A and B are shown apart, each in its own frame.
Chain A
Amino acid sequence: MIFVSFKTNKSIHPKRNFLNERGIVLIASIMLIIFVAIAVLGTTMFLVQRLRHTVSKENNARLIDLAHAGLHGAIYMYRFFDQGAPNGYFVLGPVAINANDSYRLGASPADLLMVNTTVTTAPNSNNITNWRLQNATNSQAITIDRMVVTWGNAKHLRRIRIGGVNVSGSINLVSPANVNITNFTLDTTPSTYVADLRFSGTGNIANTTVDIQFIMTDGSSKTVRISPASKNFNFTLGSTGRITGTNMYRTIQAVYNAATGRIIDYDETNTQY
């Protein structure tokens, strides 16, 4: 029986290497294709991610301008309506600028409560009169639940009146007076409510500062110095910019002083309206 094999006789084929193997070109080609495909796909994914990141940054920049647009839109509306009686107001909720861009306005009840102290007077030693309350929006009613009144002398607080209604009942409290008033609602009809405080006892209420913390039924609160008179007539407004098709948003919260016509403070917040 003859059996001769040369398969492993390298001395006979000194120049033979794996590249000469039959089928190696196909295998090598497939491997090369796979390698290139993985490399190209990897790079593509990286670039797609980078492009998305760029688009995301663009949207981020757009959103802050949309939020600003909301603030200016609301301020324009307030000032426009403030030209006539009885007072200015703006509308809460969403506003579309175009098919993709929009903003939404929102605020807590305390933010919407405007206390006009520009014409506050102390006609005598016992009374602080003519400070006025109003609702900055016609979109929602706001209700005052309690008031904490603070002043700097020994006088006693005897009465709180809003819009001609005695909301405190008969009281005799020293500072700070936490008064659980009869809930007072400033409704959606634009209205201004004139309010006053009556004190008794020795001393002159005009010679001290009087602060009131208004606590609303939802728990939000706002503290205002009602005496002496000042250009303290603010509302706080939140505006969230949005772009259709994204879940991104940016919100600016601003304090607008209606007495001076200026945005006295603004900041970006994480709240979404």
Chain B
Amino acid sequence: MMKLIHSIELCKAKRNIDYRSVINSAKVNIKNSRTGFTLIELVMTIILLGVVSIPLSLLIVEQINGTFQSENYAQAANFARVEMERIRNLPYASVVTANFPNYLASGYDVARTVTFVAGNAGSAESLKQVSVTVSKGGPALETLITYLARNVGYGI
């Protein structure tokens, strides 16, 4: 309405008092005003946000999982290495299959699996396969494998 009044006042000032024309012109301008949202615009926005937010949210979930997974893998690798170093310092006969739940109070489980690849416990020469697997209440996060030959010492 303010527009309309202002328009009429302007016309009067110019001594051109064609009120119908002025009113029509003002109506058109009000109709074509660039302010406000349209229903179509809002609907399109909602649909667009909905469509895009699904993969984005999935990606974010994956990111969170990946962060924890990376941390778990790194920790598991460290514990596997610790156990493998411990095995290398054990006497050959003491390297046997064993499980260590909650290894070093870490919340990780370490399983040591030892099998004879060649020979046996009574053989003069034998070869053991040692496998160290680390998990955290689920599938294996890290597995290290090596061989140990009987009575092989290190150093001069």
A residues sitting closer than 8 Å to B (CB atoms) are 2-7, 9, 12-13, 16, 20-23, 25-26, 29-30, 33, 36-37, 40-41, 43-44, 47-48, 50-51, 54-55, 57-58, 61-62, 65-66, 68-70, 72-73, 75-76, 79-80, 83, 97-98, 101, 257, 260-264, 266
Contacts and interface: CB of A to CB of B under 8 A. Distances in A.
Contacts of B18: 2
Q: Which 5 A-B pairs give the minimum distances between C-beta atoms? A: A69-B147, A76-B149, A65-B146, A76-B127, A72-B149
Contact of B49 (A6, A13, A33): A33
B25 A26 contact: no
B63 A43 contact: yes
B44 interface: yes
A167 to B, nearest CB: 32
A47 B155 contact: no
B80 interface: yes
Nearest to A55: B73
B98 interface: no
Which of the listed residues A70, A79, A266 has the most CB atoms from chain B within 10 Å of its own CB?
Answer: A79
Contacts of A73: 117, 127, 147, 149
Sort chain B's interface into a size bin.
35 or more
B154 A2 contact: no
A58 B80 CA distance: 10
A25 B41 contact: yes
Interface string B50-77: 0010001001101100110110011001
A36 B53 CA distance: 10
Contacts of B41: 22-23, 25-26
A265 to B, nearest CB: 8
B26 A4 contact: yes
Given A40-B63, A44-B63, A76-B127, 9 more contacts: A4-B10, A4-B29, A12-B3, A22-B38, A26-B44, A47-B66, A61-B81, A62-B145, A79-B125
B150 A29 contact: no
Interface of B: 2-3, 6-7, 10-11, 16, 18, 21-22, 25-26, 29, 34-38, 41-42, 44-45, 48-49, 52, 56, 59-60, 62-63, 66-67, 69-70, 73-74, 77, 80-81, 84, 117-119, 124-127, 129, 142-156
B64 to A, nearest CB: 9
A157 B50 CA distance: 93
A43 B65 CA distance: 13
A273 B147 CA distance: 18
Contacts of A12: 2-3, 6
A16 B36 CA distance: 10
B6 to A, nearest CB: 7
Contacts of B67: 47
A98 B49 contact: no
Contacts of B38: 22
Contacts of B81: 61
B153 A72 contact: no
Contacts of B74: 54, 57
17 contacts: A7-B29, A22-B36, A25-B37, A25-B41, A30-B48, A33-B52, A43-B63, A47-B70, A54-B70, A54-B73, A58-B73, A58-B142, A61-B80, A66-B145, A72-B146, A79-B125, A263-B152
A3 B41 CA distance: 30
A264 B155 contact: yes
